[in-house]
Structure 1
Amino acid sequence: MASYEVVICILTFCCLLAASLGALLLYSRLPERYQHEETVAIIRLIGNVFIVMTSLVLGLMINSARNTFDGVDHNAHVIATDMILLDRTLRRYGPEADDMRARLLAYVRHARDSTRPKSDPLIMGDPLSEQLLTATGDDLKTLKPADTEQTNLAQDAHTIYQAIYELRWELVEQAEGTLPLPLLVMLVAWLMLVFASLGYRAPNNRVVVCSLVLAAALIAGTVYLILDMDGPFSGLIQVSDAPLDRVIAELTR
């Protein structure tokens, strides 16, 4: 089944191609009064106005998608660092925390190796994943420190675990993307008008047709990459698994 980004990309390509080639073929069939130079000039002027508007909106969409991707990538590194710190804290606590360290390692391995749904890099939709992380937190509550040092380490472990849990849900929220569908529909409509103005009164030859097809494909590809970047856990542009690999390497040392 095709992804949302691929469907939007294909629809965008078809719409732009239909608008440009439709205007190209329609021009020769219009009555002569619609082929005056003044009419063509107005159509091109309107097209130029929307070229500026679509350029601005595309720039804003790229910036928004990039900010989403960078924010998720940053949080993925932060949560990886916190997991390493939690393991180090539990290791210092003593053998009583070995079971918790094992559950934390199992959670990280499960998050890295499982087939993860689009919505969550740490497999929100998997009950086992949720159980492994929650069990680690529950076990922390059962610690019974024997001295002041262990008391401080237990408090530090609770604080780090809470940060991990909060970051996990923050990643879930960020994974949903920020680009609204109505804005995307409006952008495609503006692009259709621009491509129609390009095709209107253009020479009907293979060079022009190939140029319009190529331009439509490149614009559709740009829209795909923007949407793909806005969903950092699927598609061609994804947040790297390297932080999780680093966590596993550190937890198994």
Structure 2
Amino acid sequence: MTSAQVFLISFAAMSAGIAFGRLLRSSVPNGKLDADSKEVIKLGTGLVGTLAALVLGLMTASAKTSYDTQNTNIRTLAAQLILVDQLMVQYGPEADDLRRFTREAANTMVDRIWREGATSSSKISAFSSSHVGGKFYSAIDALSPKNDEQRALKSRIIDTSFEIARVRLAIFTRLDSSIPIPFLVVLMIWVTVIFTSFGLFAEQSTLVFAALLVFALSVSSSLFLILELTHPFAGLMQIPSEYLKDVLPALSS
């Protein structure tokens, strides 16, 4: 379920709840309820509102944690790419071909991360090494150190390359939304109940009805933003690909 779909469905559900509440109010004789009935409905609405606020808080925390984790992974990946390139420079001209493969692999990595993150297709291919990645690791194996310094550098290049692979896989394992669909469905039901009670007790005026629609729009917008946070490589709040693209020119220097 996309962020836009959640926004539209939730807003439509709350609007329907408002309309249903107004309809119930008009069906009550003289438009009034006895004090005990009002108290029971208000207590129930307060309980549902508390539960909804708790779930919203949990969803926001989960989405923000997921977004921050992916943002940290991308920055770590950029740092590791710069580090491995610097190690290759220290290794000497023998690593020039490896540096070119590194640039090609980084370009491929950027494309796959943002492409896979923007779609809901199968992620099976995301866990397999690309053709360029295979050439990169083959080039590392082909390095023939001539002294202790180059042997140490090759070892560090291998370690850093494995760290890059680890972070890359960590990114792909978290591409799916971290918000369970049942959470969203139950939350939409709760907020619909809340807005139904608003329609039931609110004054029958155009101004109040417009205000309730604005409130519903605000709640729907919060759900939209939460869902956007769970898709860090697509949508309005996506992590800029420049975090990795900006380091690419350095890899070819």
TM-score, with structure 1 as normaliser:
0.89
Match of 2:169 in 1: 169
Q: Does the CA contact (< 8 Å) of 1:120 and 1:171 recur in 2?
A: no
Give, as a single letter, the amino acid of the residue that structure 2 aligns with 1:107: A
How far 1:173 moved relative to its partner?
A: 1.2
> Cα gap change, 1:63/1:115 in structure 2, threshold over 3 Å: closer, same or farther?
closer
1:32-71 correspondence to structure 2 within 5 Å = 35-71=33-69
How far 1:110 moved relative to its partner?
A: 4.0
Deviates more, 1:112-121 or 1:41-50: 112-121
Deviates more, 1:175-184 or 1:240-249: 240-249
Distance across 2 between alignment mates of 1:242 and 1:205: 51
Deviates more, 1:12-21 or 1:197-206: 197-206
1:111-190 correspondence to structure 2 within 5 Å = 111-112=109-110, 116-119=114-117, 130-190=130-190
What SS does the aligned partner of 1:28 have? Answer: helix
1:82-93 correspondence to structure 2 within 5 Å = 82-93=80-91
> Cα gap change, 1:196/1:170 in structure 2, threshold over 3 Å: closer, same or farther?
same
Distance across 2 between alignment mates of 1:103 and 1:124: 24
Q: Does the CA contact (< 8 Å) of 1:108 and 1:247 recur in 2?
A: no
What SS does the aligned partner of 2:85 have? Answer: helix
How far 1:25 moved relative to its partner?
A: 1.8
Match of 2:92 in 1: 94
Q: Does the CA contact (< 8 Å) of 2:18 and 2:196 recur in 1?
A: yes
Give, as a single letter, the amino acid of the residue that structure 2 aligns with 1:249: P
What SS does the aligned partner of 2:66 have? Answer: helix
> Cα gap change, 1:115/1:56 in structure 2, threshold over 3 Å: closer, same or farther?
closer
Give, as a single letter, the amino acid of the residue that structure 1 aligns with 2:175: A
Match of 1:241 in 2: 241
Distance across 2 between alignment mates of 1:247 and 1:129: 21
In the TM superposition, what whole-angstrom CA distance separates every residue of 1:201-230 from its partner, at most 9, and x where no partner exists? 322211111111111111011001001001
1:195-214 correspondence to structure 2 within 5 Å = 195-214=195-214
Distance across 2 between alignment mates of 1:211 and 1:69: 32
Q: Percent identity over the alignment? A: 25
What SS does the aligned partner of 2:170 have? Answer: helix
How far 1:170 moved relative to its partner?
A: 0.1
> Cα gap change, 1:118/1:219 in structure 2, threshold over 3 Å: closer, same or farther?
farther
> Cα gap change, 1:75/1:244 in structure 2, threshold over 3 Å: closer, same or farther?
same
RMSD (CA atoms): 2.6
Choose from 64, 70, 73 the match for 1:72.
Answer: 70
Q: Does the CA contact (< 8 Å) of 2:17 and 2:193 recur in 1?
A: yes
What SS does the aligned partner of 2:179 have? Answer: coil
What SS does the aligned partner of 1:236 have? Answer: coil
Distance across 1 between alignment mates of 2:66 and 2:128: 28
Give, as a single letter, the amino acid of the residue that structure 2 aligns with 1:86: V
Aligned length, in residue pairs: 250
How far 1:114 moved relative to its partner?
A: 7.6
Distance across 2 between alignment mates of 1:68 and 1:113: 21
> Cα gap change, 1:113/1:150 in structure 2, threshold over 3 Å: closer, same or farther?
same
How far 1:86 moved relative to its partner?
A: 0.8
**Please, which runs of 5 or more residues in structure 1 have no aligned partner?**
none
> Cα gap change, 1:126/1:47 in structure 2, threshold over 3 Å: closer, same or farther?
closer
**Please, which runs of 5 or more residues in structure 2 have no aligned partner?**
none
Distance across 1 between alignment mates of 2:248 and 2:14: 47
> Cα gap change, 1:159/1:124 in structure 2, threshold over 3 Å: closer, same or farther?
farther
